[in-house]
Amino acid sequence: MNPRHTPFLRLFMPWAIGIITGAWLNRPVPGLNLALVLCGIALLVLIRRKYAYRYRWVFGVLLTITLLGAGYRHMVAHDERQQPDHYSRICPQADVFYGTVYDTPTKGATLKVPLRLQAAGRSTDTLNTCSGNVLLFMEITPKSERLRYGDQIWVHAPIRPVQPLKNPHAFDYRRYLHFQNIHYQAFVKASSFEVRATGYGQPQWRAAFRWRDQLLEMLRNHFPSRDEYAVASALLLGYKEDLSDELRASYADTGSMHALAVSGMHVGLLYIALLFVLNRIPWRGPARRWAETGFVLSGIWMFTFVTGATPSVLRASVMFTAFILGKAIRRQASVWNILGASAFLLLLFNPYLLFEAGFQLSYSAVAGIVFFYPQFQKLTPPLPKWAVEGWKILLIGVAAQLGTLPLSLYYFHQFPVYFWLAGWVVVLGGAVFLWGGFLLILLHGLSPELSDGLGWCLFQLIRGMNMTIQTIQQLPGSVLNGIWLEAWSAVFLTMLIWLLPRAIAVKKPKLMLAALGVLVLLSSTYAIKKFGQLRQKKLIVYHTSRYFLLDSFVGEKRFSWTDSLSQRQEQFAAQTHRWACGIRESAVLTHGFTNPSLFWQPPFLQFFEKKLAVVGRQIKANDRAGPPVNVDVVILHGNPNINIDDCLRQFPCDLVVFAASNTRRRVERWKADCQVKDLAFYDVGENGAWELVFP
């Protein structure tokens, strides 16, 4: 890869670093705008002047600094909270607001509706014009399910900031919403909103969502069962809202989830299908090239909008656009340069895309294919013709997996062992289905009889794919779970994966030394982390609504106790933290459990030298039998009918911990009593999980 042939890739690096720095600091820098203007003027002067060759670095350094500063400013300015008329500045205590639905609502336990504010206030008489995004959580009713993109609605509900992370190492929903430019939320009852107008928003998005709804209705007619319809809508339209948890797990555990996200494969197959149609038209002449270009680009971008313009399909569409335009003007561009240019343009449109897992995985997969696939081909011995295409699919899958390996481990903490086997299924089956799906769309309006026959065939194809994927999932050792990778370890692993093969291929000692240095850093970070895990002594009370969950870690062993929390709820609250702490063995605390570090005799718990009283609903206010027992910490859970005075008579202590399973009203009363007595307390429901860590 010659750096001279990849100018956009070189420009992308400082641009991306500036964006990352802006996300990290997230505050305006005084005088940055003036500095960028001066740098721009200096660049214009330098680019028009001739200067000695030894001073060529001056222009490069100045351009790098300019791109760093521009990326930083672009990132900070993109945050909705920086707008002078943002809701949090104009009317932070609003209970009544008015806005436009700016994306399609999604259904789960509640209906999530993204709303762009136009006015807000304490009452309908005090509305102020403002801006900002709010995520509405609505009760699912026939009224709320009719909400669509572009609807303008009036809402009566308090707006609150999105809650921070409550359990360590859990999915950070506030961070996820931050990179969707959403920082506030509201819980709305069915009677607390009213649709005032429809048909607003951008016309192209209204048309795209309307077409998608029509295509989804068509797929429902041809795919009557839930799982087959869910996979068909995901493959063809990128619509994954109807995928069941079991089906998601099957595709995720086999490394096939990428097939259900519209990406480069889908755009590439659409491109091939469009060319197939064009090549059947007997038209010659100089205008054909540009007409063909316009037709193909229109088809690709129409498909992009209908599928929701996700980061993966945007990346693919921008790349194919650059390739098709280059072909039209008879220019051949480097794939690396197209990658850099498309990423640069997408981040210019939305810098938050850089922090989306889909964006990172999409570009990593393509980069892995471009980098590793040619190396694999060189090592491939001659094969019979019938095996060539299957072998190519395998090599492409391995190359993409290598490119995305650090990110996959960092985000999903698992490695699908049989990804290569599932890859043949989803690539071959997905290709046949996509071409058949495009044909089904055409036949649906032209010939209902033919479309019914084709729909039945595609239905059987998807059923066979699902059954095969679920069979692969059931194979022994199909997935390695619990792999925890810290951010720095992911960076070092990425550097190693890219440096080591390059060093071996070009046989440069400096590259080999660099790869060995990265390997030493990766090994050192792992050794330091492992040493800390072997010596850890920690007790944690998790944030779990309505239930109670307590873990104690001693080295790589954990001892847990919960009051009727289901296994799924327990894993949701604690599993990632257990993986991060390197837990390998587990045991449930039972009545009378004892070992050198732990003693459990409800309600008393001794963990090393600390004594705790875990008080649940079984303790009554008038239950004062026996003398008081001095403890270090009292943990109140399950909303026990007891006040702080009675609690201290039975269990004199230095700290009271209120679990999230208590009602807010009772916790507030307990807090007031503690403040009167100058007694320290910790509220898990408000502040998140409580940890007791021993040095």
Categorize the per-residue pLDDT at 621 as very low, low, confident or very high, splitting at 50, 70 and 90: very low
Q: Is 642 helix (H, G, I), strand (E, B) or coil?
A: coil
pLDDT digit string, tens, across residues 413-445: 999 999 888 888 888 888 888 888 888 888 887
d(C-alpha 165, C-alpha 688), whole Å: 7
pLDDT digit string, tens, across residues 325-356: 777 776 666 788 888 888 898 899 899 999 98
Torsion (CA) 146, 150, 153, 158 in degrees, nearest 10: 100
**pLDDT at residue 369 greater than cutoff 90:** no
For residue 480, what are the β-bridge partners? 415
Q: What is the pLDDT of residue 565?
A: 84
Judged by phi (left if over 0) then psi (alpha if -120 to 50, else beta), residue 690 lies in beta
Q: What is the pLDDT of residue 630?
A: 93
Structure token digits, residue 99: 């806005």
Q: E strands, 376-444, where?
A: 414-416
pLDDT digit string, tens, across residues 251-301: 888 888 877 776 777 777 777 777 777 777 776 666 777 777 888 888 888
Q: Which of 149, 153, 229, 235 is nearest to 188 (CA)?
A: 153
Structure token digits, residue 189: 């009852």
For residue 552, what are the β-bridge partners? 539, 559
**pLDDT at residue 625 greater than cutoff 60:** no
Categorize the per-residue pLDDT at 107 as very low, low, confident or very high, splitting at 50, 70 and 90: confident
Q: What is the pLDDT of residue 3?
A: 62
Supply the pTM of this predicted model: 0.88
Phi–psi pair at 314, nearest 5 degrees: -65, -45
Quickly tell me which residue has 């707008």 as its tokens.
83
Structure token digits, residue 57: 């670095």
For residue 96, what are the β-bridge partners? 121, 156
For residue 595, what are the β-bridge partners? 598
Report which DSSP code applies to 131.
B
Categorize the per-residue pLDDT at 387 as very low, low, confident or very high, splitting at 50, 70 and 90: confident
Distance of CA 114 to the CA centre of its chain: 17
Report which DSSP code applies to 86.
B
Q: What is the pLDDT of residue 618?
A: 64
Contact predicate 293/324, CB 8 Å: yes
Residue 603 preceded by cis peptide, ω within 30: yes
**pLDDT at residue 56 greater than cutoff 80:** no
Q: How many other C-beta atoms can be found within 10 angstroms of the C-beta atom of residue 395?
A: 20
Mean pLDDT score, 532-550 = 93
